[in-house]
Structure 1
Amino acid sequence: MQTIKYPKKTDWNTILARPNIELEEMDEVVNQIFKEVKADGDAALKKYTWFYDRIRINELVVSQEEIEESEQLISEELKNAIQFAAKNIEKFHKAQKVESKVIETTEGVTCWRKFTPIDKVGLYIPGGSAPLFSTVLMLGIPARIANCKEVILCTPPNKDGKINPAILYACKLVGIKQVFRLGGIQAIGAMALGTESVPNVYKIFGPGNQFVTAAKQTASKLGVAIDMPAGPSEVLVMADESAVPEFVAADLLSQAEHGPDSQVVLLSWDEQLLDSVQLELAKQLKNISRVAIATRALDNSKMILVKSSQEALEISNQYAPEHLIISVKNEDEIINGIQNAGSVFIGNYTPESAGDYASGTNHTLPTNGYAKSFSGVGLGSFMKSITFQKITRKGLENLGPSIEIMAEAEQLEAHKNAVSVRLNKICQE
């Protein structure tokens, strides 16, 4: 990791730049694949699975027998861990239910919202070098709580055309029955457009590589909603002399191992801590299997020595990290100042991995600075609200004159008349 000491504010944007994602260059590829998926359906899906992954797929649909069999293919220890995580995730997301309230805005005028599920949702689960069965829980559980009518899931197969059994077990646990062995741009295209086998959906969820991100953004242009723009994973750690260097290094590596285009950032006003973390990184890096990936990610990453905790907070809010770890003495002061972050982890004993798996919060979060304007996935992501209003005769007498004046000022006479005819009728009675 590069160490930068006391950077000028004018240089922050350059220093904090993420690894370059050339989404525009991918548009032509994505558009071509979407065009073929629309025209050729399943045949295009199989074609591009062979083209990109060198995997021949005869059957896109994962059978119920395969889903049921998955329970026998993973250890009891892993099943228990998945069940434990699922309970916490369900508890946290159930608590996000919002009750509709009827509000009388003016005498005789009542307004309320009704929350309804998105009927058809598609979940994308990465399954290549790191099969993210945890994401099945993070997306499938709130979809179930929201009562989405149709939930489909796409995940890439291995070289034998099989789906990781832990992914299938998680599907079984959360009640997802429509699973497809399909990844990459073609999976997003299938969910956006629909094919003979894969139903089209109204909203697509899930993380993925740069190709999946570009495909999701193309889907959004076609009228299919997406959870958020997302890219490579990232973490920012803010630490002082109270932090444990061994823990900080472990947290940085836990994100660096996601992919070579991931980025990790360490902010501190304690120079000795930075030195200690560098030593720990070198030591721990030798003991992880994804050392080549993590090393490349660290090349994109920064340790930044700042003048104070307030300057660190300002830099963090400008960066708007997907994951923000706070390991400082004055944590309350820092927490109160956080404006932009996907998910925050507080204290020496709160690793980011907890949120990735089992604490209960959702790990599908905005990256690439989108935490400035997007929230992470929650129960509300799988729902929408419809507003209702009911106006009594007395209510229209109270409200009507204001509507007439405003409509006339906007030169919308028919709008005014829709009120006037009613008020005139009331006057005649």
Structure 2
Amino acid sequence: MLASKPHFYHHRSPVVKQVLAVMIRDSPFDAATTSPPYSWTTQTVSDILRSIPIFFFTPTRSIGRQSNLFRHRAPLKQRDLRQESVKYQSNFLILGPAAYRDLTRVDHGVSKATEFFYWVESHAGFIHNEITVREMAIVLAKANKLSHLWNFLREMSRKVDGELVTTTSITCLMKCLGEEGLVNEAMQAFYRMKQFHCKPDVYAYNTVILALCRVGFFVKAKSLLQQMELPGFRCPPDTYTYTILISSYCKYALQTGCRKAFRRRLWEANHLFRLMLFKGFVPDIVTYNSLIDGCCKTNRIERALELLEDIIKRGCLPNRVTYDSFIRYYSVVNEIDKAIEMLRKMQELNHGTPTTSSYTPIIHALCEVQRASEAWEFLVELVDGGLIPREYTYKLVLDALRCNGNANMLNEETCRMIEDGIIIRYRQRMKEKPFMNRKGSMLIIEEH
């Protein structure tokens, strides 16, 4: 059933491994769990249910290809499950979170999860609680079995006076549906909270607003914010509510690649920021960083500098992300000295520890203007800080030094340290696979 085991399989408890093995072999649960007798706990049952999407729903193509199996590389869009089903039956390529999924494995995982959920209650004497019910609902949501999901929640809400389905459970379910690209379904869960005798709180509103913003449904998100702002409303917005919208406006505008969208979304983000201040909310560093990054990437450096001054005035210390936005902007517009000044300012004021993302724009900009010796000095400073540059950055500095006739500046020990670090990082990404010499890869240490 499974082509390969995920690398985190070995961190599971023995009971979890046994149950997963039984599920994969499609054997009865009594064969592996009754001898010797075992006392089931909430943690064990939750771990088993939490492991099912990893083993059965994750495409085999993704295992070993990327460290974060839940990261979506392309921007999320609202999915149409009916259209995906037609494409799957017609052997068309499906993109998004469901790409390369094997529906046979998904159906098998759902059936075994359901069977185990009821078996552990009827045969092992385990009493389900809010946590295990929530994990089972998340399994159905990640499998996109929405009709089964609603029926399961209705069944659980009738037990124990409705204590098995709570506001926290529905909020976690909405978050899961939003990450799967099922935003309209997350909205359905939000509006069905009354059906399950749950009252939405500010966290539920923030979760559904974030899900709407991730797919660009800003009108619906703004209407929910306006609903929360009504006088006497029992769930008024908080700082995080405004931060979600401000960050999403800036991020979505940059993803569109349209100048008009840049101006419009950035204006809306700044308008929300001023409205937030007017209503007495204190923005945090995440709010400021989102606006500063949007302003820097749209060449509104004056506004970004105003926001930086406002951060200091309000006593909210900037961090590395704040300075990285300015460093990237100044490096792109060829004002390298100002980028270096921002880096030194961050170090002097102890507003954060520079990382590879802080040094790389400066090094690239210095190489472009034929200041290779300074680029090498920053590369050495990066290595002395315990960091390893990207392979492309390292090769760029080497080529720039050789073109300028400054190859004698190279330190053999530093070069060997960088190359060993690049090789180790590459091996970690390839899951300890054997190295193969490919064109353009720094797999052979050169003599300098």
TM-score by length of 2: 0.23
Higher helix proportion (structure 1 or 2): 2
Q: Which has the higher contact order (CA 8 A, sep 6+)?
A: 1
Higher strand proportion (structure 1 or 2): 1
TM-score by length of 1: 0.24
